[in-house]
Structure 1
Amino acid sequence: SHERLATDDNMRGWGFIVTPGQQADPLNPGNLPVGLGRHVDPGTGKERLDIGCATCHTGELHYQGTALRVDGGQAVQSLSNAKRGEFITTLGASVFETLLNPVKWNRFATRVAGHDEAQREQLKTEMWAFADHMKHFMQGAGNPKYYPVEEGRGRIDAVGRIANVVFGYDMDVPANYRPADAPASLPFLWDIWRFDWVQYTGFTNQAMARNVGETLGVLAPIKLVDKQGNPLPASELGETVVDVDGLHCAEGLLRMLKPPKWPQDILGNIDFERARAGKQLFADHCQHCHGPHISEPYAWPVADQANPQIPGQINSNWQWDMAGDISQQDGRPVRRDWRSTIWSMPWISTQEIGTDPKLADNYMDNRYDASKLVPGSKPVNAGDGLQVLLNLLVPKLYARWDITGAEIANYDGLNVPFRIANQRAYKARPLHGVWATPPFLHNGSVPSIYHLLSPLQQRPTTFYVGNREYDPQKLGYLTHKTEGSFFHDTRIQGNRNHGHLFTDVDIPGRIGPLLSEMQRYELLEYLKVMGNPDFDEALNGDPQNWARYSAPPPHQWSATRCRNNHLRHGIVEQEPKP
């Protein structure tokens, strides 16, 4: 075939977002889909293709010929899916076919290197190196046998994959590979900078640690062992291309994200009588878990003792006092101007919420050998192991990027200490803008909010994911089969749709009483506009009005080096000169 792999139609077919008619420009010289970018590797001087945050965290809803972009929403691509015909398998097949087919190779090499024989040979050497690297990865951390539950569109077992990459592939310990069979929906990102604990199981709490861990999970190269797989001396450990300056820049932009506003001109007008009734139903049945809960003087609950699994590890107990400061052993006070911006995330045990426990069980029960990082350590779970690695790695990254003093507190993310919480539970997050983030529950097992509020027997047992056409009545995607769509079977462990039930029957997962058909639609109507300050008056006042929440301290990101990058791109305005 003469067709190039990354045509707009092909990329859309795999679920990537390509703006119709987009052309290359200075901000996107490669004319790439949303979230993909390029940068020059300072170590090699060669250009690299990047997978940015927006690849997985940008949604798009379609309704009657109009597309609504949801910045920070849930993507429906299947970047990690190794099923035949998906992006990663097609990419691998294309690379090998190009190398082995003389006609295709000549066409490709001429386009990239012209007729210079030396450059063409160098290109072939680099292509074979990439192909061998890809083959090695697919035999290890990328091997489909470790991912027996198909992730499909808009889902990934991120924690399981990161653990397999870091503890198995990067550390060269094949015995560390574990089944990652609990796919989770790609979460929406607005307001997460406020959360005291993040990830579906709420196991970590710090922006930089979260972002570096995710960067390693998408294969940012890192040197953890030598070529023979032996531990490295501390001076050599952790050589990597991870760009902490860029990560901090992205985190600053993240704090600017707002929940999407319901577009009445596209999706239909709001019935405010219903919405006002739904506001009361939300207060009665939802707010006690989903809050948001403004943090009070607060203790980081699992930081009061050293982890006995890790020799020599020291944890300190962090405790807010009424002034909003934290006192602890290394003398880093938290700024007084950010405490009111933080929201406490309640953990709901898997037994109580009743949703599919596989993700939480895997996190709590899987163990990895981290002794190449800390000799003598006992097997650890993914969270504790990542804490060990990142406590070694992040200070080196800061030193490499010349980030010192007070800047470290800003780069950490509001000076929050990096902690791990081991809970067999899921966190309950606030729901502003949730209407734009189907499907629902942590594993995407319920196609619409209407079905989520309905009895279990009224939830679809099977449905298709991948159709972007939106249902503004039930608040979900249409679920019929389309080209490339994923068949979600809730009878499979990891995919199950039980729990979070409104029922009058006392069963596991019951969180409230049975809702009538009218009550369900009243709640749906409120969720369309919940928190939107434009509708505060029409709702006779909305306690969820997000305009009332404290804004992020502006100097936490604007004074850093990435501000110049924001200015160049027109993302923030130049401050007036005195």
Structure 2
Amino acid sequence: MAVAVASCSASHTQESATQGWTEIQRSEWYEATQGSRLIPYDWLVALEQPGSDRPFLDDAHIVGFRYLPRTTSFDIRLPVGFALDQRDDRSLSRTQLRWKAGQRPDERWVGMNCSACHTAEITYAGQSLRIDGGPTLADFQGFVESLNLALTQTLAEPGKWDRFAAKILQAEDNSTNRTMLQEALGQLVSWQTTQSRMNQTPLRYGYGRLDAFGHIFNKVALVADSTNATPNPADAPVSYPFLWNIHQLGHVQYNAIVANSPLRSPISGGTFDVGALGRNTGEVIGVFADVAARRAPGLKGFDSSVDIGSLVALEQRLMRLEPPKWPTHFPPINEELAAEGERLFRANCASCHLPLTDLTTRVPDRISTFNGASAPDPTDPARDKPPGTDPWMACNAYTYRSASGTMEGLPAAYLSGPPLERVANLSDMLRTTVAGVLIGAKDEVIRSAFSTFLFGDRPPRVVTAPPPVAAAPPAVRVMDPRQARLNRCMQEHSVLLGYKARPLTGIWATAPYLHNGSVPNLYQLLLPPAERVVSFRIGTREFDPKHVGYVIDEVVPGNTQTFSTIDEHGQPTPGNSNAGHDYGNAKLDEAARLAIIEYMKRI
């Protein structure tokens, strides 16, 4: 049953969808560490908003980025998915900060876990519904920019600095400690500035999108060689994918870059998935893990803050997450119309979007590549159905490169494969980094696998905390490097040059649509691309049950951003295209589109 919790506003009550988890399991999903370390906890509590003396963690400020404020099970105020991490930092690198005399090496830090990006909340008829594993509406880009500005202003402005130092040091507030704190804050500001420079792009993600691969690749480049790292713009944002059923898929990411590799214990029934562990390790590297690479590491691997045990446990938890059902307080499904929609869906959609009947059946991949010759299975119906959607997420992942630095000469898969050259593909460097981290934590990997084999699943680790205190044209025309990369992606053969179709169970709860979030609702998705809206307002959680997506009207409170497929000159914006996914859309009339949508409300 749905469990009522505190009202999120004066006019809305809040419930959690029934998805097979207990309240304790849901709480662990929100609070468990993955080893992500963004900022010391005491610093975040003391930090003020840019241009204000209000706390950075004020609910109104956090809600502005569409993160979800929450009181944790141990009674502190942190948004959903903002998790505490605590460990001995003496083997780490950038987070080994010291800001007072006699400081212990295990200060609490705040980072993000998977629930920060994969928890949805939708509102209808005065009631808010929390959906675990659903796509967040969060503006990650805006949040990080605001955090960096707040840190920079704290370092530069005497009033902010004085209040910040006094709150953190308290009884230990003296000139020596203030000097140490100022130096430590300067180190964090420098690191954040470097990351921002690497990821810099004029493209605004807006609510509900993030270029996760861009951020992960640039983090790997910095880990390998912070001096010579090549900035690769993080300019291909995607919609946050939904997480229920991911253990049933051969590959999870949109471009199918990492395979699931589950091993089920005949003794405990537990599942240890080394592919998922690698995938999740890459995710933590991108969102604030501390990784210390070394030359010729051998079987020592790389030291890192990645929490292997929690990653294994969280993936096991997701294996039991059920897709959300169409809520009872929404307009009821028209079963007669849905039956007609099911017939149309099976005729037009099911060859790529295979149906799921339970939480255990595994389904084969349906990967639609830009170039038909790249299709992994020549007999797959998707072979002759190129996606036609915005290519930049897959293309960037395939073409981005940087100096390999400390990883030069290491095999591309750490223990096997061709050695990394001086400048290498970041996809290979990511594989090397992930493998190095896992080998560096091999004792914990073995311990987690052994525990799963004998005893089954276990809970993730939750860290608690006390209450918070006009030039002439060139003579020779040179092709735009970005266009050259795109030409490669459209001509070369690789299974990575395309996107994966997946089962659509629970798809009603996952707006906006297409891999890059460029289509606001299911109705628009079923239109011919030329008829789709070129821009729409986004930011509200208010749900449109007819078209299935968030309400896109400008007058609706919360719709404070505009997503647009074109720029101010009317030209297409790379990364934002809403083209593609057109497999005969024009032959569908209004009645057929509404019938298919009605069916998708119940799958």
* Structure 2 CA distance for partners of 1:483 and 1:406, relative to 1, 3 Å: closer
Asked if 1:111 is matched to 2:167, the reply is: yes
2:595 is aligned with what amino acid? E
**Superposition deviation, residue 362 in structure 1:** 1.5
Could you say if the C-alpha distance between residues 176 and 409 of structure 1 is closer, same or farther in structure 2, counting changes exceeding 3 Å?
A: farther
CA contact (8 A) 1:274 1:526 kept: yes
1:327-346, aligned counterparts within 5 Å? Answer: 341-346=361-366
1:400 is displaced (CA, Å) by 5.0
- 3-state DSSP class of the match of 1:473? coil
- Structure scoring higher RCO (CA < 8 A, sep ≥ 6) equals 2
Aligned counterparts of 2:598 and 2:390: Cα–Cα separation in 1: 27
Partner residue of 2:420?
377
Give 2:519's aligned amino acid.
V
Taking a change above 3 Å as real, the CA distance of residues 273 and 404 of structure 1, as seen in their structure-2 partners, is closer
Q: Is 1:38–1:47's contact at 8 Å kept on the other side of the alignment?
A: yes
Amino acid across the alignment from 2:222: G
Specify the code of the residue in structure 2 equivalent to 1:457.
A
Q: Is the 8 A contact 2:111 2:288 kept in 1?
A: no
> What's the counterpart of residue 436 of structure 2?
392
Specify the SS of the correspondent of 2:562: strand
Aligned length: 453
CA contact (8 A) 2:244 2:321 kept: yes
Tell me if the contact between 2:69 and 2:77 (Cα under 8 Å) persists in the aligned partners: no
Q: How far does residue 160 in structure 1 lie from its aligned partner after superposition? A: 1.6
Q: Percent sequence identity over matched residues?
A: 31
Provide the residue aligned with 1:240 in structure 2: 304
Equivalence for 2:590: 517
Q: Aligned residue for 2:63?
A: 12
Per the alignment, do residues 404 and 261 of structure 1 end up closer, same or farther by CA in structure 2, a change over 3 Å counting?
A: closer
Residue pairs, 1:486-501, within 5 angstroms: 486-490=561-565, 491-501=572-582
2:293 and 2:304 map into 1 onto residues whose CA distance is 9
In structure 2, how many angstroms separate the alpha carbons of the residues matched to 1:131 and 1:159?
27
**Counterpart AA for 1:45:** D
**Structure 2 CA distance for partners of 1:361 and 1:263, relative to 1, 3 Å:** same
Contact 1:57–1:189, Cα closer than 8 Å, also in 2: yes
How much does 1:211 deviate? Answer: 0.6
Which amino acid in structure 2 is aligned with residue 247 of structure 1?
Answer: L
Q: CA deviation at 1:365?
A: 2.2
Structure 1 residues 185 and 222, CA, compared in 2 at 3 Å: closer, same or farther? same
Give SS of 1:392's match: helix
Establish whether residue 211 from structure 1 lines up as the match of residue 280 from structure 2: yes
Within the alignment, does 1:40 sit opposite 2:86 as a pair? Answer: yes
Aligned to 2:232: 178
Match for residue 346 of structure 2?
A: 283
Structure 1: stretches of 5+ with no match in the other structure: 226-230, 295-337, 414-420, 504-511, 531-578
Q: Does 200-209 or 341-350 show the bigger shift?
A: 341-350
The answer as to 2:512 corresponding to 1:457 is no
- What is the deviation of 1:195? 1.1
Is residue 249 from structure 1 mapped to residue 313 from structure 2 by the alignment? yes
Deviation, 1:233, is 4.3
Q: Which moved more, 1:96-105 or 1:404-413?
A: 404-413
Deviation at 1:402, TM superposition (A): 5.8
Question: One-letter code of the match for 2:439?
Answer: P
Aligned mate of 2:124, from 63, 68, 73: 63
Decide which of 291, 296, 299 is 1:222's aligned counterpart: 291
SS in 2 for 1:176: coil
- Deviation of 1:486 (Å): 3.0
Q: Is residue 245 of structure 2 the alignment partner of residue 191 of structure 1?
A: yes
Alpha-carbon distance in structure 2 between the residues aligned to 1:349 and 1:402: 36
1:173 Cα deviation after fit: 5.0
Tell me how far apart the structure 2 counterparts of residues 134 and 284 of structure 1 sit (CA, whole Å).
55
Deviations 1:453-484 (CA, angstroms, capped at 9, x unpaired): 01223211111221211100000112234557
**Contact 1:147–1:181 under 8 Å retained in 2:** yes
Q: Is the 8 A contact 1:208 1:412 kept in 2?
A: no
**Partner Cα separation in structure 2 for residue 151 and residue 33 of structure 1:** 20
Q: Structure 2 length as normaliser, TM-score?
A: 0.70
The answer (yes or no) to whether the contact 2:169–2:177 under 8 Å persists in 1 is no
Q: Distance in 2 between matches of 1:444 and 1:450?
A: 14
Relative to 1, partners in 2 of residues 1:160 and 1:87: Cα closer, same or farther, differing over 3 Å? Answer: closer
Give the whole-Å Cα distance in 2 for the aligned partners of 1:117 and 1:279. 67
Does the C-alpha gap of structure 1 residues 73 and 364 become closer, same or farther in structure 2, counting only changes over 3 Å?
same
1:429 lines up with 2:502 in the alignment: yes
Q: Residues 390 and 453 from structure 1, CA distance in 2 versus in 1: closer, same or farther, beyond 3 angstroms?
A: same
Deviations 1:329-348 (A, max 9, x none): xxxxxxxxx9x742211110
Amino acid at match of 1:364: Y
- Structure 2 unaligned regions, length at least 5: 1-51, 90-104, 260-274, 372-385, 410-418, 458-493, 566-571
Matched, 1:444 2:464: no
Match in the other structure for 1:271: 334
Change (3 A) 1:146 1:286: same
CA distance in 1, matches of 2:82, 2:448: 30
Structure-2 separation of matches of 1:241 and 1:167: 18
Corresponding residue to 2:193 among 138, 151, 155: 138
State the distance in 2 between where 1:410 and 1:174 align. 46
Query: Cα–Cα, structure 1 residues 367 and 144, in superposed 2: closer, same or farther, change >3 Å?
Result: closer
Deviations, residues 23-46 of structure 1 (Å, cap 9, x unaligned): 4542xx321111112121223211
C-alpha deviation, 1:5, in angstroms: 1.3
What does 1:113-128 align with in structure 2 at a 5 Å threshold? 113-118=169-174, 121-122=176-177, 125-126=180-181, 128=183
Match of 2:255 among 197, 201, 215: 201
Residues 446 and 452 in structure 1, CA contact (< 8 A), matched pair in contact too: yes
Query: Displacement of 1:204 after TM fit?
Result: 0.5
8 Å CA contact 1:293–1:344 kept in 2: the answer is: no
Deviation at residue 392 of structure 1 after TM alignment: 2.7
Structure 1, 268-277 or 355-364: larger mean CA deviation:
355-364
> Match of 1:488, as an amino acid?
F
| Offset, 1:148 | 3.4
Contact 2:299 2:440 in 1 (8 A): no
**What is the alpha-carbon distance in structure 2 between the residues aligned to residue 279 and residue 529 of structure 1?**
10
Distance in structure 2 (CA, Å) of the matches to 1:2 and 1:392: 43
Cα contact 2:537–2:552 (8 A) shared by 1: yes
The one-letter amino acid of 1:354's match is G
Going from structure 1 to structure 2, the CA distance change for 1:262 and 1:346 (only over 3 Å counts) comes to same
1:411 Cα offset (Å): 13
Instruction: Report if the CA contact (8 A) 1:464-1:485 is conserved.
Output: yes
Change (3 A) 1:100 1:159: closer
- Secondary structure of 1:91's aligned partner: helix
Is structure 2 residue 96 aligned with structure 1 residue 96? Answer: no
CA distance in 2 between partners of 1:466 and 1:405 (Å)? 41
Distance 1:242 1:412, change over 3 A: farther
